Amino acid sequence: MCKKFAIFGVCEPLLTAIMTNYLSLFGDYLRSERRLAEGTVHNYLRDCEEFVVWCGAQPESFDPEQATLDDVKGWVVSLAEQKKEVVVGGRRKQVALYNPASINTKTASVRALFKWLHIAGHTTHNPAEQCRSQKTPSKLPTFIPEEQMMDILERLEERLQSDDYEVRRNALIVMMFYCTGLRLSELTALTRNSFTPSWESVRVVGKGGKERIVPIVSTLRHHLEDYYTFTLQKICPSRENLLILTSEGSPMSRYQIERAVQRVLAECGVVGKHSPHVLRHTFATLLLERGADIREIQELLGHSSLATTQIYTHNSIARLKEVYRTAHPRGK
């Protein structure tokens, strides 16, 4: 751990009073100017605080003017060297705590902090500007094949007729992710007012506060209306609450919704990753395979950059190669 930022000889209360809490100001900037969601702001500040603490300081006493490129590089190296213990085949094994993608995410948070500090005039240099990201292996988005997804939808249809509120609600959650491609945070925040009166579309507030309109297919529209009526009658008579509620009538957390999705997909036979984001990937991949324009998919997903959406074209190309390999007489 670097100790160069530790300041001695000054009592802590006085030090706190005379130092600027740059992390707090950075958080205000992320919320007000970049309009990031609170969860995203939390992740940025957590990563930056980890760097500050590694440097031997505290958020309220951190002096960015003392930071150097070597400090940032040293912190990155320390992240790469951290290990955790896992059990594989009955044996304990030491593996990396952070993969390259996770390290790059943390580095990007610190890079954003120093970029803001420099532009805002809080420091005369940007020590993180020259810190490069680590190389990461290209990974295609995980999605559920169309044939398997059709079987899952049949099971969901049965569950959506249940008199058990949680069974019906969880099935609706999975169907909504698949039919709309929403992010977990976006679905969690939905209220009745997010939808048009006839449930034909939903207004979604995505990353950076960007709004978009997502159409609702007729099948989902019918189930949403039934679910909402069922909820008013059985769970919570208030029309002001969020759409997705617990059986006690309180809002479900992101964690609870994610666990509900994982449970339903596991029960439906999905192996490997079965998170809400897998359903978002499935939504995008199947639209592309059915001939949807890539820019239309970008709009539905709420991507600010087309490059982010284009990764799904690689999924389709990989699928075509597999079809060729198995079906063409010269493919093997």
Candidates 111, 183, 223, 274; catalytic one: 183
Q: Which residue out of 207, 212, 273, 319 is catalytically annotated?
A: 207
Smallest Cα–Cα separation from 169: which of 244, 89, 104? 244
Instruction: Find the catalytic residue in 22, 29, 227, 312.
Output: 312
207 in active site: yes
Q: How far apart are CA 175 and CA 243, in angstroms?
A: 14
| Catalytic position from the list 277, 314, 319, 324 | 277
Query: Which of 169, 274, 280, 281 is labelled catalytic?
Result: 280
- Verify whether residue 277 is a known catalytic residue: yes
Furthest-apart CA atoms within the chain: distance in Å: 79
Tokens 């284009």 found at? 310
Query: Pairing state of beta strands 201-205 and 83-88?
Result: unpaired
| Cβ neighbours, 10 Å, residue 130 | 10
Is 321 an active-site residue? no
Active-site residue identified among 168, 169, 274, 303: 303
- Looking up tokens 């490059």 gives 307
Output 105-110 pairs: Cβ under 8 A, ≥24 positions apart.
105/43, 105/47, 106/47, 106/50, 106/51, 106/79, 107/72, 107/76, 107/131, 107/133, 108/133, 109/43, 109/44, 109/47, 109/48, 110/47, 110/48, 110/51, 110/72, 110/75
| 31 among known catalytic residues | no
Q: Among this protein's residues, is 312 annotated catalytic? A: yes
223 has catalytic annotation: no
Kindly list the catalytic residues.
Answer: 183, 207, 277, 280, 303, 312
